[in-house]
Structure 1
Amino acid sequence: MQNFKTPVLVLLCLCLALKGFGQQYLQPIKLVELLNRVNSSAPTLLADSAAIGIKQSQAAETRNNWLPNLKLNYQADIGTNNNTAGPYFGFGIVPSNSRGVRTESNTNAVLTNLGIAALDWEIYNFGAYNAQNKVAESDVSVEQSQFQQSKYRLQAYTIGNYLQLLRLQDYLNIQARNIERNQQIRRSIQSLAKSGIRPGVDTSIAEAELSKARLTYLELNNQLKQTQLQLAALSGLSYQAMVPDTLIETRLILQENIPDILVADTANHPIINYYQSVVQNSRERESLVKKQYNPKILLEAAAWGRGASIDGNDRYNSLSNGWGFDRSNYLVGVGISYNLFDMRRKQLKLRTQKSATDYALRRLDEQKNLLTLSVNQADVELNTAKQRLTEIPNQLKAANAGYRQKLSLYKSGLTDIIELNAALNILYRAETDYAQARFAYISALFQKAVTANNLSSVLNLLN
């Protein structure tokens, strides 16, 4: 029984150890997956999406502007019916009193009631309704283009930070090797100092270099965590999950057909589409200005009933006789309305709107020129980065050989700590230059893809 328990306990401990290792290991998040999470969870995009819903609701409201007004009114009033002759402007505050002029003043109370169903409908305005709808639809289009532009810029920002994670991870690995080399040098110096071959001051110099390397590692690790937090805020994931796929650089560097697939697609570029939608919106507003001051054809209709405690013989009856309708009437008419001074208003407002359209066109041309410049700059940067990446291994190979030689000479007592540290710094700089060259190439590659609106071609290479 004892012989049976021992293998079981060993197997159980092994399983627990593997489980703990699996919990600590974090699967790298792929760039495509991160972009999808950002597109669905970024607060900026969620806000822009809500803004689209507002514009769509406003467009639906505008489409119903043609509906008529049908108002139902009822009132019961008690007061006098004591008119006199003479004209006046009502100003909206003088109550109506329907009765001819009396020969003498009479302030007896009268009860009246009135019910009205009134319809007013602007049945035709020579295209103003249609122009309003087109402006509302154009507003929705502008907001949707704004959303796509925000999505485009956020993708570029996400890719930039993801590549920064790769760069910082490379720097951390380089710094870890640098720390290991400094520790190796310190151990060698301690042994040589104890033997009296090297002075004790070399130990202090080695300790200082080691401490400096550790501080640099801490600073790089802090920058990595800050970048992880920024990506986590956009994607809704924990910052610990922001582990980059380190194979991206190698896979893209080995691709030889990249220049062939990075064809610029500026015709459907999100930035250009946005400014084109702004131009179209301004033109639709010009059309609205032209049509909103046109004549208006109106349909008016009303039906009403009235009752009063005073009868046709001008007798003041009991107030209770004022309830109910004694007379009913209806009225239907078609009219046309036009303000002659609207011609001047239209000219002034149209001039202002044309200026806004001209400004939008100039901004569109500016963005097209900037986009062309950005594409050309990305081409130059990509070619330069490729050449730099081809040359940099020679520097790294020479620096590595120089460091090994100086370390061997130092251990043999043929050189001093200053020259050894200089060789170590040259190697460290060569490694960081190589990492920077890899980062610069990948960054230039994605910059070209984003600028050329052809990001999907590069992302497909990573699948």
Structure 2
Amino acid sequence: MLKLNLVLSLAVSLATSSSFAQTLTLRDAVEQGLANYGNIKAKEYYLQSSLQTNEQVKRDFWPNLNIVAQQDFGTVNGQNGPLYGFGGLGVASSGAALPEQNWNAAFGALYLANVNWDIYTFGRKKERIELAKSDTKRLQADLGQEQFQHKIKIAAAYLNLLASQRLEKNQQMNLDRALVFLNIAATKVKNGILPGVDSTLASAEVSRAKISLNQARENVKEQNNKLTVLMGIPAKNLEIDTVLVQKTPIQLTPLSGNLIESNPMLQFYKSKIELGEQQLKLSTKEYLPTVSAFGVFQTRGSGFKSDYITDLQAYSTNYWKGVRPSRQNYLLGLGINWNLTSIARINKKISAQRFTNDALREEYQTAEAQLTAQLDAADVKIQLALKSDLEAPRQVSAAQQAYNQKMTMYKNGLATLVDVTQTLYTLNRAETDREIVHINLWQSLLLKAAAAGDFDIFNKEL
């Protein structure tokens, strides 16, 4: 008895949990997709990287402060003659030019602090900071248009899944009707009222209906998995909300004003143009000179005494005597650096950037024209889809009536199986048209939202 109660409790629990399975609304699908989709996450990271780069560019103009300390042990033989420290490979030993080599060695040390600062760059500092800001704006616009397009993709995938599920239901209804007249035909053939070919044809019709149902189920699975990918979740069977099947959008009239100017895609193109213009401004400053300030404080220690030139024994190999600072120097100054040959190189860079900016403007104008045409087409598609949506129920009603009449006549021997099959095709096509044209109405509204760059045009009708 206890075992039976446990089984019943488990059954009730499973039934309760399944009955309260969460239905995925379109808004929920969009929200999950924006939170989980990899491409959006990647562009969010790119944006964060750009914000850090902005700070790095500002700090690039801070003064350079170098602190150096070195301690050495070696000889100090000097020699008269020219020398270039090519590649920094020479030895900077300083000492008297003695008549012959000696191997006296002691410790020495150098300690210094060096500061240099580009105090005036003729506007390059400002333009580089503005360039970094423009790149951040471009990445922000790129993220915005990616999020907007992803909303559109998720909504389109959701509508496609809803349509495929409705078509699957229609094919199931079509199979049920085919099984009904198969049973009728089989009974009449068995009783000798109809020839055996009727039963055979009815059986073929059932097989065709099963194949159509399998194809519909395959399409449902395909559309289901497309939606899960866009949502950034593992593939699973989704239970979506069917409220859109019974609901018709209200605000379907054309909107006034030029809506596409705020389209995130156009905003992205604008940000690319602004970035190009800022790059051009920086390029015009690059051939100008740089004014720098610099300063050095240096202290040295040596194990060789000041009279080493006259007394070669005047040195100490003691480490502390050699590395202890004993002489100091400082230096302050201003300098200007101007690479005159850069003028010719920068001129070509400026010309190249101008061509690039022209190309970006052409891309913007092309995208603007495409979106304008898409918005105009969307308004027409909405009106035509609305008319078709009003007509579809009449088509279904007439087809259903014709099917019922032919089935009644067939049962009474007043119609052939071919007549019934024809009305079955008509009814199935009418039911399919009804689902397609209603989903097309929502898809046309989504197309309008995509062209206008305002997802709320679609979202507020849900």
TM-score after normalising by structure 2: 0.91
Partner secondary structure for residue 253 of structure 2:
helix
Task: State how far apart, in whole Å, the 1-side matches of 2:405 and 2:257 are.
Answer: 48
The answer to whether residue 31 in structure 2 is matched with residue 31 in structure 1 is: no
Task: State how far apart, in whole Å, the 2-side matches of 1:262 and 1:401 are.
Answer: 44
Shift of 1:366: 1.2
Change over 3 Å in CA distance of 1:300–1:399 after alignment to 2: same
Unaligned runs of 5+ in 2: none
Identical columns (%): 25
Q: Conserved in 1, the CA contact under 8 Å of 2:253 and 2:379?
A: no
Q: What CA RMSD, in Å, does the superposition of the two structures yield over aligned residues?
A: 2.5
2:302 is aligned with what amino acid?
A
Out of 251, 265, 271, the residue aligned to residue 277 of structure 1 is: 271
Task: State how far apart, in whole Å, the 2-side matches of 1:445 and 1:168 are.
Answer: 19
Partner secondary structure for residue 319 of structure 1:
coil
Task: State how far apart, in whole Å, the 2-side matches of 1:328 and 1:15 are.
Answer: 90
1:3-402 superposed matches below 5 A: 17=12, 20-24=15-19, 26-91=21-86, 92-99=88-95, 101-102=97-98, 105-236=101-232, 242-253=238-249, 255=250, 257-259=251-253, 265-313=259-307, 314=309, 315-316=311-312, 317-320=315-318, 321-402=321-402
2:75 is aligned with what amino acid?
T
Q: Conserved in 1, the CA contact under 8 Å of 2:54 and 2:133?
A: yes
Partner secondary structure for residue 259 of structure 1:
coil
2:401 is aligned with what amino acid?
A
Shift of 1:368: 0.8
User: C-alpha deviations, 1:187-222, integer Å up to 9, x for none?
Assistant: 111211121111222222212211221222122122
1:112 is aligned with what amino acid?
G
Shift of 1:71: 1.3
Shift of 1:166: 1.6
Task: Judge which range, 364-373 or 313-322, deviates more.
Answer: 313-322
Partner residue in 2 for 1:451? 451
User: C-alpha deviations, 1:378-430, integer Å up to 9, x for none?
Assistant: 12222222232233334323322222222122212222222221221111111
Q: Conserved in 1, the CA contact under 8 Å of 2:66 and 2:113?
A: yes
Change over 3 Å in CA distance of 1:298–1:425 after alignment to 2: same
Partner secondary structure for residue 111 of structure 1:
strand
Task: Judge which range, 281-290 or 82-91, deviates more.
Answer: 82-91
The alignment of Structure 1 onto Structure 2 pairs a total of residues equal to 452
Change over 3 Å in CA distance of 1:416–1:287 after alignment to 2: same
Task: State how far apart, in whole Å, the 2-side matches of 1:23 and 1:232 are.
Answer: 21
Q: Conserved in 1, the CA contact under 8 Å of 2:371 and 2:451?
A: yes
Partner secondary structure for residue 243 of structure 1:
coil
Task: Judge which range, 193-202 or 261-270, deviates more.
Answer: 261-270
TM-score after normalising by structure 1: 0.91
Partner residue in 2 for 1:404? 404
Unaligned runs of 5+ in 1: none
Shift of 1:167: 0.7
1:50 is aligned with what amino acid?
Y
Q: Conserved in 2, the CA contact under 8 Å of 1:65 and 1:129?
A: no
1:60 is aligned with what amino acid?
E
User: C-alpha deviations, 1:37-93, integer Å up to 9, x for none?
Assistant: 211122221111111111112222111111122111122223332333333332222
Task: Judge which range, 230-239 or 437-446, deviates more.
Answer: 230-239
1:295 is aligned with what amino acid?
P
Partner secondary structure for residue 297 of structure 1:
strand
Shift of 1:105: 4.8
User: C-alpha deviations, 1:97-121, integer Å up to 9, x for none?
Assistant: 3345445554533432111111122
Q: Conserved in 2, the CA contact under 8 Å of 1:62 and 1:132?
A: yes
Partner secondary structure for residue 340 of structure 1:
coil
Shift of 1:94: 1.9
